[in-house]
Amino acid sequence: MSGIVYLVGGGPGDPELITLRGVECLRQADVVIYDRLVSQALHSYAPQAEWIDVGKQPDHHPIPQHEINRLLVEKGKEGKVVVRLKGGDPFVFGRGGEEAQALLEAGIPFEVVPGVTSAIAGPAYAGIPVTQRNMACSAAFITGHRAQSGCSPTGDWQRAARGVDTLVFMMGVASLPQIVEQMRLAGRPASTPVALVERATTPLQKVVTGTLENILERAAGVCPPALIVVGDVASLHEELQWFKRDERRPLFGLRVVNTRPRVQRWSGTDEIPGPDEFTMRLYALGAQAISLPSCLITPPLDSAPLDCAIHHLSDPEGLGYNWIIFTSRNAVQFFGDRLFAQGCDARSLSSVRLAAVGPRTAAALRPYGLKADFIPSYAHGKSLAKEMTALSGRVVLVPHAEGSPPLTVPDLLSQGYQVEAVPAYRVCTEIEPPDSLTELIAGEADVVTFFSPAAVRGLTNMLAQQGCDPVRTLNSFTTACVGPTTAQAARTAGLRVDIVAAEQSVEGMCQALAQWVAEKQPALG
Ligand code: SAH
């Protein structure tokens, strides 16, 4: 039985500009065949899928179109759910039409999921409406790539210049001189407003404006991908620009490496995949998130002790536990998933009380229908052990990371508790480096963030494996740690710690970054 190919528009760059239908297709995908312009954050919607990069660099086509068509047909014939993910809209200079024809010919079913095209979204993020009453009542999308146009592109450009108000050129940066020349030959005045929007809708967006007269000098530094908008509407940028650094986007343009781990929970959890919370917060604040997971959280190698503890919970003869102490969200989630996977649910915990190290760990209990009975006044294992002395019941279960029982355990033991510590998950710091490591090594980042000592270890391991000096490499960036324990681990590894968040959370990290940017404002330009 043949599969199906979805030709999906991934949107112009901002990861939130993909459609609901696009996300749904990604969640069902076995294979995702994607292009260069697709936002990296979209990968997290399909962690289960095989991702194949067929990206084309300008003037350099690593995989020719007929090969891409062949790959789509081949994967479809294997019965796979294939997502062909393209930047913007698949049918706007995306060669989606040709791919649909190849699929039709091979008898593979396909569907098209339109996307938000950069031709409209790019100008919109620069404050330029492509039509505007009394200013522009028609707009055209035009390829600036001379080889891709018909036989006489310059003739096409002149025709468009005479007949259409707003012209949006795509793939046109290298042809800007010719475009300007043809506009003038077609009779557009030298004062016609022009705007170039580079990396539109991303935190690295740059806008250059001018007129047909002076745009060539002004746009000298603009690199692809960029849009060229010619027409009166381009002048509205000054007035309507909204996507920029301001109090709502204090991190605009900052490239932040997110080393938070990838989590591979037991299959059977109904968690919906999507970008991690920190990535989405960074985008919302205007930063470019570079996802570089530096450790991997998985179920423990041996889940027998955990299963045994879970069995013990519902054993009417058993002594039972008085308390279960959760010192991390991972502990809650891996314990909770396993509980359900074993056919139990919250009722098995009816006679046990639950302690959580802090409010975020406590919040992780909610999806399992559970509530923390005790949270210490300060989110730290030491406070938990100290403040628990006042509580009744001495038999305590502590689910934890394999190989590293939390610091609370000796404290609890010394206070006379009977503690059973069971591994509920595993933190691997020896992992395959993600593609984004190359970006880091090339220096394409501003800040590297750490949320755990394991992430510090994982990233230094990865760099060493690539033959880099981890300390030299990481010290060439600003480093930010979520709290004192992580900062200590980073210093022990030889790193210079520049930022330590006052509050140990995603929000605390974002606030610390914003404060740092405010102090460094001139340096960031
Ligand atoms: N299907 C895509 C266009 C692919 S052609 C769409 O609908 O958006 C590639 C061209 O699109 C680039 O050369 C550039 O002109 C434009 N483009 C795509 N993404 C862009 C972005 N984020 N910023 C500026 N231009 C972009």
Pair (124, 108) in one structural domain: no
Per DSSP, what are the bridge partners of residue 11?
88
Amino acid (1-letter code) at residue 519: E
Domain contains 248: no
Domain contains 376: yes
Cβ–ligand 1 distance for 195 under 6 Å, the answer no
Pair (97, 131) in one structural domain: no
For the CA atoms of 20, 25, 31, 35, what is the dihedral angle to 10 degrees?
A: -40
- Share of the chain residues as helix, strand and coil, in percent rounded to the nearest 5: 40, 20, 40
Task: List phi, psi (to 5°) of 195.
Answer: -130, 140
User: Lowest-confidence range among 33-37, 103-107, 194-198, 366-370?
Assistant: 33-37
Distance CA 247, CA 443 (A): 27
**End-to-end Cα, the chain, rounded Å:** 56
Distance from the alpha carbon of residue 75 to the mean position of ligand 1, in angstroms: 26
> In the predicted model, is pLDDT for residue 270 greater than 70?
no
Domain contains 245: no
Mean residue pLDDT across the chain:
91
Which pLDDT score, from 0 to 100, does residue 320 have?
80
> In the predicted model, is pLDDT for residue 392 greater than 80?
no
User: Lowest-confidence range among 139-148, 276-285, 448-457, 482-491?
Assistant: 139-148
Domain contains 387: yes
Distance CA 381, CA 388 (A): 11
Predicted confidence band at 156 (pLDDT cuts at 50, 70, 90)? confident
Domain contains 246: no
Q: Considering the entire predicted model, what is its pTM?
A: 0.88
Domain contains 247: no
CB 155 within 8 Å of CB 259 = no
- What CATH number is given to the structural domain containing 336? 3.40.50.10090
By DSSP bridging, strand 296-298 and strand 262-263 are: parallel
Predicted confidence band at 269 (pLDDT cuts at 50, 70, 90)? low
Task: Quote the domain boundaries for residue 73.
Answer: 4-116
Distance CA 349, CA 491 (A): 41
DSSP 467: T
Q: Which residue has the tokens 């509580």?
A: 391
Distance CA 41, CA 265 (A): 20
Pair (127, 234) in one structural domain: yes
More confident residue, 317 or 264: 264
> In the predicted model, is pLDDT for residue 525 greater than 60?
no
Q: Ligand 1 pocket check: which of 18, 34, 35, 37 to mutate, most ligand atoms within 8 Å of Cβ? A: 37
Predicted confidence band at 230 (pLDDT cuts at 50, 70, 90)? very high
- What is the rounded average pLDDT of the residues 13-40? 95
Distance from the alpha carbon of residue 197 to the mean position of ligand 1, in angstroms: 10
SS3 425: strand
- Reported as half-sphere exposure (CB side, CA atoms, 13 A), residue 18 has a value of 28
- What is the rounded average pLDDT of the residues 132-146? 94
- Give the residue from 6, 4, 12, 18 showing the smallest Cα distance to 274: 18
Q: Which residue has the tokens 């809708």?
A: 201
Percent of the chain at pLDDT exceeding 70: 94
- What is the rounded average pLDDT of the residues 66-78? 96
DSSP 442: T
Domain contains 249: no
Report the atom number in ligand 1 closest to the C-alpha of 91.
1
Inter-residue long-range contacts of 509-513, CB under 8 Å, 24+ positions, other chains counted? 509/278, 509/449, 509/451, 509/480, 509/482, 510/251, 510/281, 510/282, 510/285, 512/480, 513/251, 513/254, 513/256, 513/285, 513/287, 513/447, 513/449, 513/480
Which residue CA neighbors atom 16 of ligand 1 most closely? 170
Per-residue model confidence as pLDDT tens digits over 283-301: 999 999 999 999 999 999 9
> In the predicted model, is pLDDT for residue 1 greater than 90?
no
Per-residue model confidence as pLDDT tens digits over 398-451: 999 998 877 778 888 888 888 899 999 999 999 999 989 999 999 999 999 999
Predicted confidence band at 58 (pLDDT cuts at 50, 70, 90)? low
Pair (140, 234) in one structural domain: yes
Q: Which residue has the tokens 């929007």?
A: 197
Predicted confidence band at 154 (pLDDT cuts at 50, 70, 90)? confident
Distance from the alpha carbon of residue 152 to the mean position of ligand 1, in angstroms: 22
Per-residue model confidence as pLDDT tens digits over 334-383: 999 999 999 999 999 998 999 998 888 999 999 999 999 999 887 777 77
> In the predicted model, is pLDDT for residue 504 greater than 80?
yes
Pair (94, 140) in one structural domain: no
Q: Could you say which of 88, 116, 144 is where a domain stops?
A: 116
Report the atom number in ligand 1 closest to the C-alpha of 171.
13
Alpha helices, DSSP H, located in 29-116:
65-77, 96-106
Distance CA 480, CA 490 (A): 10
- What is the rounded average pLDDT of the residues 511-523? 87
CA 350 vs. chain centroid, Å, equals 39
From the CB of residue 76, how many other CB atoms can be counted at a distance below 10 Å? 23
Token pair listed for 271: 């968690």
Domain contains 348: yes
- What is the rounded average pLDDT of the residues 27-39? 93
> In the predicted model, is pLDDT for residue 148 greater than 60?
no
SS3 518: helix
DSSP 8: E
> In the predicted model, is pLDDT for residue 149 greater than 60?
no
Cβ–ligand 1 distance for 253 under 6 Å, the answer no
> In the predicted model, is pLDDT for residue 237 greater than 70?
yes
Per-residue model confidence as pLDDT tens digits over 393-408: 788 999 999 988 777 7
Cβ–ligand 1 distance for 171 under 6 Å, the answer yes
Cβ–ligand 1 distance for 170 under 6 Å, the answer yes
Cβ–ligand 1 distance for 292 under 6 Å, the answer no
Pair (435, 424) in one structural domain: no
Token pair listed for 161: 């210049």
Which pLDDT score, from 0 to 100, does residue 409 have?
80
Pair (230, 133) in one structural domain: yes
Which pLDDT score, from 0 to 100, does residue 391 have?
65
> In the predicted model, is pLDDT for residue 59 greater than 70?
no
CB 237 within 8 Å of CB 195 = yes
DSSP 249-312: -TTTT-EEEE-PPEE-PPTT--PPP---HHHHHHHHTTPEEEE----EEE--S--HHHHHHHHH
Q: Ligand 1 pocket check: which of 8, 42, 93, 148 to mutate, most ligand atoms within 8 Å of Cβ? A: 93
Pair (165, 50) in one structural domain: no
- What CATH number is given to the structural domain containing 53? 3.40.1010.10
- The domain tally of the chain equals 4
Cβ–ligand 1 distance for 291 under 6 Å, the answer no
Contacts of residue 199, Cβ cutoff 8 Å, sequence gap at least 6: 13, 205, 206, 225, 226
Task: List phi, psi (to 5°) of 439.
Answer: -60, -45
Which pLDDT score, from 0 to 100, does residue 2 have?
81
Task: Considering the candidates 56, 77, 244, 386, report the single residue annotated as catalytic.
Answer: 56
Q: Could you say which of 116, 145, 178 is where a domain stops?
A: 116
Q: Could you say which of 397, 428, 459 is where a domain stops?
A: 428
Pair (21, 95) in one structural domain: yes
Per DSSP, what are the bridge partners of residue 511?
none
Q: Which residue has the tokens 């997110």?
A: 258
Distance from the alpha carbon of residue 236 to the mean position of ligand 1, in angstroms: 21
Pair (15, 103) in one structural domain: yes
By DSSP bridging, strand 166-170 and strand 296-298 are: unpaired
Pair (422, 445) in one structural domain: no
Pair (380, 472) in one structural domain: no
56 is catalytic: yes
Which pLDDT score, from 0 to 100, does residue 79 have?
97
